[in-house]
């Protein structure tokens, strides 16, 4: 039903109820008096008009009544009482008398009928005709073939989910009960579903009730606690699912279809980053924005997040035509007002980049284009320098020349004390924009974050492929740890940093505790429906350039005070930019080993003078 039809239906129903309440109160109090005097007529009109007015002001016609709660009932009480109060005042003002008994009876009938219709609407939408026909005789036999389901969390999300489950006979679910840590609910029923205990009783309840399906319905609980419950549930039942996090749930719109399998992101044990929506919207809306590397996993997600803030133009710049075509078509199908402009260009082509930035003059450039694979860049240091350092310099200087407002570099935690070429080139790229920030009107900032789950360079796709092939899953070292975040989180951090930028900062996300790679592998094996013995884990040894532990800031960069919840900014560090210029101007005459030594020394602020130039033969 469309909104206009639904509104017309509710107004008509309420008008009938108000009119009926008035006539019935008149009949109850004066059963032998059939005259309807002027006082009653004026009072009826006033009551009808004020009821609709209060209902409109309290948004009662916009409520989703199938999810009605005590809040909606209080709204009805306020609307009815308000209309009665206005009618009482009108009788006293214009007629000098008040029909107290008639108004009291009208008030009672009004509340009972208005509330009753809404309750019936909710009951019908939830249970269909079963409230009238009763449950089928063979329902018990049918339930035996369904998943015996336990909901963890009897709060508003769990209650709405329970109503959906009970009202949808097509679902393969037999709801047995709730588990909740609120002790006041224990041994009681919520929506006719018993609360069977708290989370400490989970294993016992599963055994006693033969549970084979658990749904975690705790979208607003801290991620660390949810992780603990998921881990415990996975040990005792084969099928554990969860609702989306609270940021993904439209208010009052939870349904059985939103239940999803537990994902590796649910096991990070850290609450996600929230955005200052207003500040980002103020910066982005109506502007021209460029994303380099727009076809990559991070760049494409930045584009998906950006279009929500309604930029006038979004420039999708990338070197690979297929990936740019893919993200362009995906965003185009959304039917947004934002003009999407795909641009095929290589950031190493300085003239082309300057021409494009000068033509469009974006307010923001999000620079996500980079080579990120650590072992591959160890084997190809020249390409790492050309793309990550010189490519960044080209885009940054183009931004400076065109007077771009903000430039956000996507950096990495591997830029901290880097032992590898990839991390070193990302650190040098930070140096490049910090140098420009000292003299440019453009605000240059960098954003560092850890490993991104689901990105092309992430270990997750490799683990999934190995599990699909029957194993084993390969892990370099049992003690290796990494910071992890999701692709949407990484993209949000980038957008928030752009809005916070003043120039020259390095923003870092508080990513909680680092995660052992081997624990990630174990969790993914279990999420895939296998046990560790079936798939196996094989240790292959640390690869060239890899660190055992990652860091987010150097000791001399650390600033303990966050500039935004979960976002920190590093202190500026003095950099010898002459050495950066040498690398940019003369990298092509270095042999491969010297180039690696040079970028490592430069990124780690070590003495380079002890090295001698080794030029390529010829």
Give the lowest-confidence range in 31-40, 446-455, 536-545: 31-40
Is a pLDDT exceeding 70 seen at residue 258? no
Give the pLDDT confidence score for residue 129 in this predicted structure. 47
Q: Where are the domains of the chain?
A: 3-130, 141-262, 277-455+484-512+551-574
Residue range 514-526, pLDDT digits in tens: 778 888 788 778 7
C-alpha R_g of the chain: 32
CA distances from 251 to 62, 63, 191, 247, 261 (A): 13, 11, 19, 10, 21
Q: Is the dihedral of CA 352, 356, 361, 363 positive or negative?
A: negative
The domain made up of 141-262 is a member of CATH 3.40.1030.10: no
- What is the reported pTM? 0.58
- DSSP label of 209: T
Task: Answer yes or no: are the C-beta atoms of 267 and 295 closer than 8 Å.
Answer: no
CA distances from 544 to 4, 345, 359, 377 (A): 65, 31, 42, 10
Contacts of 560 (CB under 8 A, 6+ apart): 568
Give the pLDDT confidence score for residue 253 in this predicted structure. 41
Q: Is the dihedral of CA 112, 114, 116, 119 positive or negative?
A: negative
* Closest of 72, 488, 67, 69 to residue 263, by C-alpha: 488
Q: What is the mean pLDDT of residues 83-112?
A: 81
**Hey, is 106 helix, strand or coil?**
helix
Give the pLDDT confidence score for residue 112 in this predicted structure. 85
Give the pLDDT confidence score for residue 134 in this predicted structure. 47
Residue range 166-220, pLDDT digits in tens: 665 546 778 889 988 888 888 788 777 888 988 888 999 998 888 988 888 887 6
In this prediction, residue 303 has a pLDDT band, given cuts at 50, 70 and 90, of very high
Residue range 98-139, pLDDT digits in tens: 777 778 888 888 788 887 777 776 666 655 544 444 444 444
Residue 411 burial class via C-beta count within 10 angstroms: exposed 0-12, middle 13-18, buried 19 and up? buried
For residues 618 and 41, the model is more confident at 41
Answer whether the bond into residue 472 is a cis peptide, omega within 30°.
yes
Give the lowest-confidence range in 4-13, 569-578, 590-599: 569-578
Give the pLDDT confidence score for residue 36 in this predicted structure. 57
Looking at the DSSP assignment, which residues form a beta bridge with residue 189? Answer: 194
Q: Is the dihedral of CA 338, 341, 347, 352 positive or negative?
A: negative
Task: Answer yes or no: are the C-beta atoms of 237 and 207 closer than 8 Å.
Answer: no
Cα–Cα distance, 108 to 103 (Å, whole number): 9
In this prediction, residue 12 has a pLDDT band, given cuts at 50, 70 and 90, of confident
Give the pLDDT confidence score for residue 560 in this predicted structure. 58
Cα–Cα distance, 513 to 475 (Å, whole number): 19
Is a pLDDT exceeding 60 seen at residue 94? yes
Cα–Cα distance, 303 to 281 (Å, whole number): 14
Residue range 376-387, pLDDT digits in tens: 998 899 999 999
Residue 151 burial class via C-beta count within 10 angstroms: exposed 0-12, middle 13-18, buried 19 and up? buried
Cα–Cα distance, 425 to 411 (Å, whole number): 10
- Strand locations in 100-238, DSSP E? 147-152, 173-179, 189-190, 193-194, 213-216
Cα–Cα distance, 72 to 65 (Å, whole number): 8
- To which H or E segment does residue 592 belong? helix 592-603
Residue range 388-409, pLDDT digits in tens: 999 999 999 999 999 999 999 9
Q: What are φ and ψ of residue 405, in 5° steps?
A: -70, -55
Contacts of 238 (CB under 8 A, 6+ apart): 212, 529
Give the pLDDT confidence score for residue 51 in this predicted structure. 83
| Same CATH fold assignment for domains 141-262 and 277-455+484-512+551-574 | yes
Residue range 501-511, pLDDT digits in tens: 788 788 887 66
Task: Answer yes or no: are the C-beta atoms of 263 and 226 closer than 8 Å.
Answer: no
Residue 10 burial class via C-beta count within 10 angstroms: exposed 0-12, middle 13-18, buried 19 and up? buried
- Select the CATH number that applies to the domain covering 277-455+484-512+551-574 from these four: 3.40.50.720, 1.10.240.10, 3.90.245.10, 2.70.180.20: 3.40.50.720
Q: What are the residue numbers of the active site? A: 414
- To which H or E segment does residue 340 belong? strand 339-344
Cα–Cα distance, 109 to 115 (Å, whole number): 10
* Closest of 247, 257, 291, 292 to residue 173, by C-alpha: 257
- Tokens 């679902």 belong to residue: 171
* Closest of 406, 296, 291, 301 to residue 340, by C-alpha: 291
- DSSP label of 98: -
How many C-alpha atoms does 487 have within 13 Å on its Cβ side? 18
Instruction: Give start and end residues of each alpha helix (H) in 58-99.
Output: 70-95
Q: Determine the Cα angle at 152 with ends 260 and 205, to 5°.
A: 120
Supply the angle between the helices 421-437 and 391-402 in degrees, to the nearest 10: 20
Q: How far apart are the first and last CA of the chain?
A: 78
Is a pLDDT exceeding 90 seen at residue 323? yes
- To which H or E segment does residue 410 belong? strand 406-410
């Amino acid at each position: 039903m469309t909104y206009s039809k639904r509104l017309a239906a509710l107004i008509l129903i309420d008008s009938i109820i108000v009119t009926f309440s008035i006539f019935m109160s008149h009949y109850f109090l004066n059963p032998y008096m059939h005259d309807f005097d002027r006082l009653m007529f004026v009072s009826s009109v006033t009551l009808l008009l004020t009821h609709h007015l209060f209902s409109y002001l309290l948004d009662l016609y916009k409520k989703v009544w199938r999810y009605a709660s005590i809040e909606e009932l209080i709204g009805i009480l306020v609307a009815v009482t308000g209309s009665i109060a206005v009618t009482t005042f009108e009788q006293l003002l214009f007629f000098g008398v008040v029909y107290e008994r008639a108004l009291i009876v009208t008030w009672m009938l009004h509340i009972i009928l208005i509330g009753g219709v809404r309750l019936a609407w909710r009951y019908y939408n939830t249970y269909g005709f079963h409230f009238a026909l009763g449950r089928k005789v063979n329902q018990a036999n049918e339930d035996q073939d369904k998943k015996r389901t336990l909901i963890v969390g009897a709060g508003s999300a769990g209650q709405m989910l329970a109503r959906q489950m009970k009202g949808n006979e097509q679902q393969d679910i037999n709801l047995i009960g709730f588990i909740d840590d609120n002790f006041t609910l224990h041994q009681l029923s919520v929506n006719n579903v018993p609360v069977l205990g708290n989370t400490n009783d989970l294993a016992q309840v599963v055994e006693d009730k033969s549970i084979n399906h658990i749904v975690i319905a705790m979208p607003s609980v801290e991620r660390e606690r949810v992780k603990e419950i998921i881990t415990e549930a996975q040990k005792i039942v084969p099928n554990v699912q969860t609702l989306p996090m609270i940021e993904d749930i439209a208010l009052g719109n939870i349904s059985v279809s939103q239940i999803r399998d537990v994902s590796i992101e649910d096991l990070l044990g850290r609450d996600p980053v929230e955005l200052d929506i207003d500040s980002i919207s103020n910066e982005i809306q109506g502007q021209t924005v460029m994303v380099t590397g727009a076809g990559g996993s991070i760049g494409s997600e930045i584009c998906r997040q950006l279009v929500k803030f309604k930029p006038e133009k979004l420039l999708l710049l990338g070197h690979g035509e297929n990936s740019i075509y893919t993200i362009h078509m995906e965003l185009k199908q959304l039917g947004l007002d934002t003009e999407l402009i795909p641009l095929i260009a290589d950031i190493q082509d300085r003239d082309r980049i300057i021409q494009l930035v000068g033509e469009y003059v974006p307010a923001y450039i999000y620079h996500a284009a980079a080579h990120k694979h650590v072992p591959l860049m160890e084997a190809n240091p020249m390409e790492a320098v050309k793309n990550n350092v010189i490519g960044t310099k080209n885009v940054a200087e183009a931004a400076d020349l065109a007077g771009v407002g903000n430039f956000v570099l996507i950096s990495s935690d591997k830029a901290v004390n880097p032992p590898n070429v990839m991390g070193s080139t990302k650190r040098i790229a930070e140096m490049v924009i910090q140098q420009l920030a000292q003299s440019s009107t453009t605000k240059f900032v960098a954003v560092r974050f850890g490993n991104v789950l689901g990105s092309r360079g992430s270990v997750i796709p490799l683990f999934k492929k190995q599990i699909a092939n029957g194993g084993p899953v390969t892990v370099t070292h049992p003690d290796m740890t990494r910071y992890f975040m999701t692709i949407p989180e990484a993209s949000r951090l980038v957008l928030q940093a752009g809005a916070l930028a003043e120039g020259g900062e390095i923003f870092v996300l508080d990513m909680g505790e680092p995660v052992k790679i081997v624990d990630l592998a174990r969790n993914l094996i279990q999420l895939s429906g296998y046990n560790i013995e079936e798939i196996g884990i094989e240790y292959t040894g640390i690869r060239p350039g890899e660190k055992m532990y990652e860091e987010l800031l150097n000791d001399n960069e650390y600033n303990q005070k966050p500039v935004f919840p979960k976002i920190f900014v590093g202190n500026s560090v003095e950099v010898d930019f002459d050495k950066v210029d040498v690398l940019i101007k003369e990298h092509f005459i270095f042999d491969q080993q010297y180039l690696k030594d040079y970028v490592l020394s430069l990124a780690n602020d070590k003495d380079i003078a002890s090295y001698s130039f080794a030029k390529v033969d010829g």
